[in-house]
């Protein structure tokens, strides 16, 4: 059981709001500083090919000014690999990217993308960057990630988060529980994220083999009402409660 479940704050949507008006407010760097103040464990930022939210300069500033580990999400492309190698973030999470999607809609098909992914994973690893693969909670994808020697996987929790309460949601949670156990059994560090909110985080946080959750959209939305620091602190409390001794875990 990993007692401390790390919380990475995805600040993409601070940049979404900033970019809506073309200026520099609200500033993702300021959001990252608030995440530090709220005792978050890391900052996550997705540099998309179309730069719809985070931009290159944001990555420069996050690397230069924020001491927390930076988890840079990116597509597995030569352009992004060059940027990652230049900045050397603590971690890179490889995600699938489709231009027309509203958000990252599914996990990477690691099994099918083996030849394309292998050189990118190895180049990033050789540069000292911890590589994580964003995948659906599917044992085939976990085995493929292991075969490619990626040290970390992040399980896509979107299907769980979007499922109707009841049997569908229970089935998605069971897939996450099984996938996290399988990841641990084959020696992968396992993270999870996407669509997590106050009302659905506890069952995921209680999965004992998870090491980290990455949460963005809900916290940025909640920050409008209570402030970012308070929103992060409340999420932290819910995660800690889910891991407290005596709480039933899966």
Q: Which is nearer to ligand PXP, 26 or 193 (CB)?
A: 193
79 noted as active-site residue: no
The token pair at 3 is 């007692």
Q: How far is the CB of 169 from ligand PXP (least distance, A)?
A: 16
Q: How far apart are CA 199 and CA 212, in angstroms?
A: 18
State the chain's maximal CA–CA distance in angstroms.
49
Among residues 77, 79, 136, 130, the alpha carbon closest in space to that of 111 is found at: 136
25 noted as active-site residue: no
Q: Which is nearer to ligand PXP, 48 or 167 (CB)?
A: 48
39 noted as active-site residue: no
Among residues 191, 189, 122, 202, the alpha carbon closest in space to that of 161 is found at: 202
Query: Where on the chain is the footprint of ligand PXP (CB under 6 A)?
Result: 10, 12, 46, 73, 93, 95, 103-104, 134, 154, 193-196, 214-218
Contact 240, 212 (CB under 8 A): no
CA distances from 157 to 58, 63, 205 (A): 26, 27, 12
Q: How far is the CB of 95 from ligand PXP (least distance, A)?
A: 5
Q: How far is the CB of 30 from ligand PXP (least distance, A)?
A: 18
Query: What phi-psi label fits residue 55: left (phi over 0), alpha (psi between -120 and 50 degrees) or beta?
Result: beta
Catalytic residue among 13, 53, 73, 87: 73
Catalytic residue among 13, 46, 156, 182: 46
Q: Which is nearer to ligand PXP, 167 or 225 (CB)?
A: 225
Q: How far is the CB of 35 from ligand PXP (least distance, A)?
A: 13
Q: Which is nearer to ligand PXP, 95 or 206 (CB)?
A: 95
Q: Collapse the DSSP code of 43 into the 3-class scheme (helix H, G, I; strand E, B; otherwise coil) and give the result.
A: strand
Catalytic residue among 53, 87, 156, 194: 194
Q: How far apart are CA 219 and CA 38, in angstroms?
A: 12
Q: Which residues are catalytic?
A: 46, 73, 194
């Amino acid at each position: 059981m990993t007692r401390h479940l790390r919380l990475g704050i995805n600040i993409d949507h601070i940049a979404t709001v900033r970019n809506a008006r073309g200026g520099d407010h609200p500033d993702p760097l300021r959001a990252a500083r608030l995440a530090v103040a709220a005792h978050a464990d890391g900052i996550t930022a997705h540099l998309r090919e179309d730069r719809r939210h985070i931009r290159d300069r944001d990555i420069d500033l996050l690397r230069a000014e924020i001491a927390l580990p930076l988890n840079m999400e990116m597509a597995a492309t030569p352009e992004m690999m060059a940027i990652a190698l230049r900045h050397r973030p603590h971690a890179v999470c490889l995600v699938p990217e489709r231009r027309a999607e509203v958000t990252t809609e599914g996990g990477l098909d690691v099994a099918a993308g083996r030849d394309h992914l292998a050189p990118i994973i190895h180049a990033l690893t050789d540069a000292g960057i911890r590589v994580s693969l964003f995948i659906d909670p599917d044992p085939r994808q976990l085995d493929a990630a292991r075969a490619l020697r990626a040290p970390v996987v992040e399980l896509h929790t979107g299907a769980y988060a979007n499922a109707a309460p009841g049997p569908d949601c229970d089935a998605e949670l069971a897939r996450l529980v099984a996938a996290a156990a399988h990841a641990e059994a084959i020696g992968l560090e396992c993270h999870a994220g996407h669509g997590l909110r106050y009302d659905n985080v506890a069952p995921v946080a209680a999965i004992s083999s998870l090491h980290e959750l990455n949460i963005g959209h809900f916290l940025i939305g909640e920050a409008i009402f209570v402030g970012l620091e308070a929103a992060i602190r409340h999420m932290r409390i819910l995660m800690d409660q889910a891991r407290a001794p005596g709480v039933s875990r899966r």
